[in-house]
Amino acid sequence: MIKTVIFDLDGTLLNTLLDLKESTNYALRQFGYPERTLEEIRYFVGNGVRKLIERAVPAGVENIEECLAVFKEHYEKNMYNNTVCYNSIEMILKELQEQGVKIGVVSNKFDLAVKELCEKYFSELIDVAIGQGGEILPKPSPFGVFKAMKELGAEKDSTIYVGDSEVDVQTAQNAGIPCIGVTWGFRGRAYLEGADFIIDEPCDIIDIWKNFQ
């Protein structure tokens, strides 16, 4: 029986790609670096914003921390400009909640942004939201998942993880819990090898949940 579902955020619940691109390119412009395309950003994300900036700046530059600080400052003020919830996601979260399922979010985005985005777009639907920073190691470390499970009072045998990238598949495997890979996010089916389930529509999450009951 599945009593807890933990979601990735970017590319799974929210399409944040355009706002990430805009803030990345804003930071790059401040230092005279070439801008990046949306498709480049799509494959730069997934391992946290520091890694995003490392991948976006020209090879060999040494001011990554300065560029990252500019990115974060811009993103905190502009992360709602173009970000949207994927179709049917809110409905799926509501249905899970109505069935008594605890819902968590574990993301490699920095913690402040994770909490603010979850509050704005999902309000009372998310029980725990955890982002990167401080003691939280980035995925594919299972640390964030274990922290969420502890806060939710969840057990491994009643928890499942949902994400859109190879990092999410690895995270679930490292945590020892099943993984649902979603194809509507930033990576696509080819990057979800190893997931226990691969789905194309959010409603499939409910079908999988029911099969565990």
pLDDT tens digits along 53-73? 999 999 999 999 999 999 999
Q: Are residues 208 and 145 in the same domain?
A: yes
Q: Are residues 117 and 174 in the same domain?
A: yes
Q: Are residues 129 and 205 in the same domain?
A: yes
Residue 126 structure tokens: 């998310």
pTM: 0.96
Asked if the model's pLDDT at residue 213 lies above 90, the reply is: no
111 is catalytic: no
Asked if the model's pLDDT at residue 8 lies above 90, the reply is: yes
Mean pLDDT of 129-148: 94
The boundaries of the domain holding residue 49 are 17-78
Q: Which of 8, 19, 127, 168 is catalytic?
A: 8
d(CA 92, CA 115): 20
Q: Give the orientation angle of helix 64-78 with respect to helix 17-30, to 10 degrees.
A: 130
Total of domains in the chain: 2
Q: Are residues 31 and 114 in the same domain?
A: no
Contacts (Cβ under 8 Å, ≥6 apart) of 174: 140, 141, 142
Asked if the model's pLDDT at residue 154 lies above 90, the reply is: yes
pLDDT digits (tens, 9 = 90+) for 22-39: 999 999 999 999 999 999
